[in-house]
Amino acid sequence: MTKVSTRKPIRKAVFPVAGLGTRFLPATKAIPKEMLPIIDRPLIQYAVDEAREAGIEQLIFVTGRGKTAIVEHFDTAFELEATMSGRGKPLDVLDATRIQPGNLVTVRQQVPMGLGHAIWCARAIVGDEPFAIFLPDELMIGAPGCMKQMVEAYDEVGGNLISVLEVPEDEVSSYGVIKPGFRVSSTLTEVTGLVEKPKREDAPSNLIISGRYILQPEVMRTLENQGTGAGGEIQLTDAMARMIGHQPFHAVTFAGRRYDCGSKSGFVEATLELALAREDMATDVRALIKRLAAEIG
């Protein structure tokens, strides 16, 4: 007889998109940072596409003032589509921006009180289900995508999962780092602790927390009663640390590339590498890089 899993599936995902994007001012004065394009797709589109690939059905955007463009990106643009159709242009380029009615929900984070608070703002919609979290400025490129890899790991071990990446030991002080326990497989590790930006000599590993999570709904109760942490904000890392030991907690080592598009250099790196991976652009971009390198050299 086939064994039927009793675990609730990962159907919902929270996208905290209320941040001000001050590192990209003045560009983000009028445009949400999540709408900044890597070539011809905004950052939020990459995250949504990754979520859909992983079987996510409901998208929960935690927004703030001035963020309506993110929601409008996934709305139907009647005038644009009518004009394109009238000119004989195909509409398939817009397919990824279409969300089934009722599958996109927004809530407001009225006060910027940190990532943990942003996640807590979605508590009523998450309800009693496990859910995913996507930080859109962490661009994760892989085949399959990062969240699909995590959902496959969740089907195996359940509980809470975070995506991690190996970095050189001299870089660990810039990130949250996991304290690893039992090694389940080459890509799945038990998490026994979390350390935020440790000194190199104090770091328990070189596995850093990247911007994807699968968490049980109990984290909302933990956040409900949690005080402020680093930076005077309610930190998600603090809530996760309190759950370790009470629920299963594992790290999934992502097989793919991560780009920190919250930084300008990471944004440029992602743009160049993804352009080089596209058949319609690679030749021209390689020629451009060679010309610029020759001029600099």
9 cis-preceded (ω within 30 degrees of 0): no
Q: pLDDT exceeding 90 applies to what percent of the chain? A: 58
Average pLDDT, the chain: 90
Domains of the chain: 12-262 (3.90.550.10), 263-297 (no CATH)
Instruction: Output the pLDDT for position 151.
Output: 96
Q: Which residues 6+ apart lie within 8 Å of 105 measured at CB?
A: 58, 59, 60, 61, 125
> What would the mean pLDDT of 269-281 be, rounded to a whole number?
95
Q: What is the pLDDT of residue 228?
A: 67
DSSP track, 45-107: HHHHHHHHHTT--EEEEEE-TT-HHHHHHTS--HHHHHHHHHTT--SGGGGGG---TTSEEEE
Contacts of the segment 74-83: beta carbons below 8 A, 24+ positions apart: 74/48, 74/98, 74/99, 74/104
**pLDDT at 286 > cutoff 70:** yes
Counting residues of the chain whose pLDDT is more than 70, the rounded percentage is: 96
- Residue-wise pLDDT for 55-100, tens only, equals 999 999 999 888 889 999 999 888 998 999 999 999 988 888 888 8
Range in 38-42, 75-79, 158-162 the model is least confident about:
75-79
* Residue 138: predicted pLDDT: 93
d(CA 159, CA 249): 6
Residue pLDDT, tens place only, 205-251: 888 888 999 999 999 999 888 766 666 677 888 888 888 988 899 99
8-22, 45-59, 219-233: least confidently modelled range: 219-233
Question: Cβ–Cβ contacts within 10 Å for residue 88, how many?
Answer: 6
**Please, what sign has the CA dihedral across residues 175, 181, 184, 186?**
positive
pLDDT attached to residue 6: 67
pLDDT band (50, 70, 90) for residue 275: very high
Supply the pLDDT for residue 58. Answer: 95
Integer Cα distance of 120 and 110 in angstroms: 12
pLDDT at 3: 45
Count of beta carbons in the 10 Å neighbourhood of residue 18: 26
pLDDT band at 186 (very low <50, low <70, confident <90, very high): confident
